[in-house]
Copies of this chain bind each other. A is one copy, B any other.
Amino acid sequence: MNRQRCLALDAEDPLAPLRAQFELPEGVIYLDGNSLGVLPRATASRVQQVVAEEWGRDLIRSWNTAGWIHMPQRLGDKIAALIGANAGEVVVADSTSVNLFKVLSAALNLVRERAPQRTVIVSERHNFPTDLYIAESLARERGLELRLVDADAIAGQLDDTLAVLMLTHVNYRTGRMHAMDELTAAAHAAGALVVWDLAHSAGAVPVSLGAADFAVGCGYKYLNGGPGAPAFAWAHPRHTAHMDTKQLWQPLSGWMGHAAPFEFVPHYQPAAGVSRFVCGTPPVLAMAALECGIDSVLAAEPLGGMAALRRKSLALTELFIQLVEERCAGQGLALQTPRDLQWRGSQVSFSREDGGYAIVQALIERGVIGDFRAPDLLRFGFTPLYTRFVDVWDAVEHLVQVMKSGEWREARFNQRAAVT
């Protein structure tokens, strides 16, 4: 393998034209799309149109004339196509944390009605913290136990005390992917419900929600929706078919999830279907940006869609692992991402006993943007929509130089920023 061969891989890549959809800054190799996706070219003008025309000129009328009021459902339908769900099963609203609160509450309410002796929420010890904090909060409020276990120990926890199994499909630290179908089936066989967080899956890897109960996901990572973009929530239609709030109840009962918000009646009656997971007024500017981001992923559909993106993602991560292990051998970098393609998301993480933060900073100064996750992880995301094989080569070349030169030992690379 050499740089020339990487350029050839790009020339042969059927997904290569998708890169032209994005504004990519000169001199940057961006391997952090798993934290914040890049800017689609369409976004700036679309946001400007919403600001100047829909808001500025048409004002309040745009709730009807520009279809603002239907954004949670319209964007939800688009995301559904990316996560193996059906139209009408997803809404866009709020943040991932808030949506997790909604769906985990709904799941726990279902269990409380049907099997109150089930009092344990199981999750992974290294799940993304906000998921654990939300689950901790609900466990506290309801007197339940939140049990955190290592990924390999999950299967052993599925017994008749289990209320809800709550997992993130692709781990934010290691990029390790859970067997969604198997774990959903096993939890159901044990009589429990399952909630999946698709933050590192939507737009990154194919997802088959199948018979799962609820899911949430993030708009600003692989969906390229912009910083702090709204998130989404999915519920299996067997749950949202019930209009009886004893059968499905989520506590963030805001007016936009009401069956008739503009009747202004004093009592809450949830909207039909998944729309009851909408709460407050949709954040229109942010929704418009997110829609452009979702569209940038949907643009892969004629080229093979998520399956094609997945093939390229694995080729990119495989190449990165191979090059780092060959060219940085003896530099103390230990792969933390599964070698087995089946269990690998769209990122690669290496641990290093010390210096991880500084090495990432030294790379950033060279224009190779990955990130560091305490205590010891160097994390690199590979978004097949816009990452080229030659970017992988060049990123590793920089890493080789950073390690061999020892430049990362300079003091300035150790000054922690507020957000690391």
Q: Please list the residues of chain A having a beta carbon within 8 angstroms of any beta carbon in chain B.
A: 23, 25, 28, 30, 32, 35-36, 38-39, 43-44, 47-48, 51-52, 54-64, 68-70, 94-98, 101, 125, 128-130, 132-134, 136-138, 140-141, 148, 220, 226-231, 249, 251-256, 258, 261-268, 279-287, 289, 364, 369, 371, 373-374, 417-420
Contacts and interface: CB of A to CB of B under 8 A. Distances in A.
Contacts of A61: 364, 369
Contact of A285 (B148, B227, B364, B419): B227
B130 A280 contact: yes
B44 A59 contact: no
A374 B263 CA distance: 7
A34 B226 CA distance: 29
Contact of A228 (B134, B220, B284, B369): B284
20 contacts: A30-B59, A36-B59, A36-B60, A38-B59, A39-B52, A44-B48, A44-B56, A63-B227, A64-B417, A70-B418, A94-B94, A129-B265, A130-B256, A132-B267, A133-B253, A133-B254, A137-B268, A227-B282, A228-B283, A283-B286
Contact of A63 (B58, B148, B255, B418): B418
A285 B220 CA distance: 12
Nearest to A43: B51
A250 to B, nearest CB: 9
Contacts of A47: 47-48, 51, 285
Contacts of A36: 55, 59-60
B56 A284 contact: no
Given A51-B43, A51-B47, A253 B69 contact: no
Contacts of A58: 25
Given A38-B56, A94-B98, A227-B283, 19 more contacts: A23-B52, A25-B56, A25-B57, A43-B51, A47-B47, A64-B419, A98-B252, A101-B251, A129-B258, A129-B264, A130-B255, A133-B268, A134-B254, A136-B268, A137-B251, A138-B251, A262-B374, A283-B286, A285-B285
A220 B62 CA distance: 14
Contacts of A134: 252-254
A102 B58 CA distance: 33
A418 to B, nearest CB: 5
Contacts of A125: 266
A35 B264 CA distance: 14
Contacts of A267: 132-133, 136
Q: Which of A70, A228, A417 has the most CB of B within 10 A?
A: A228
B52 A281 contact: no
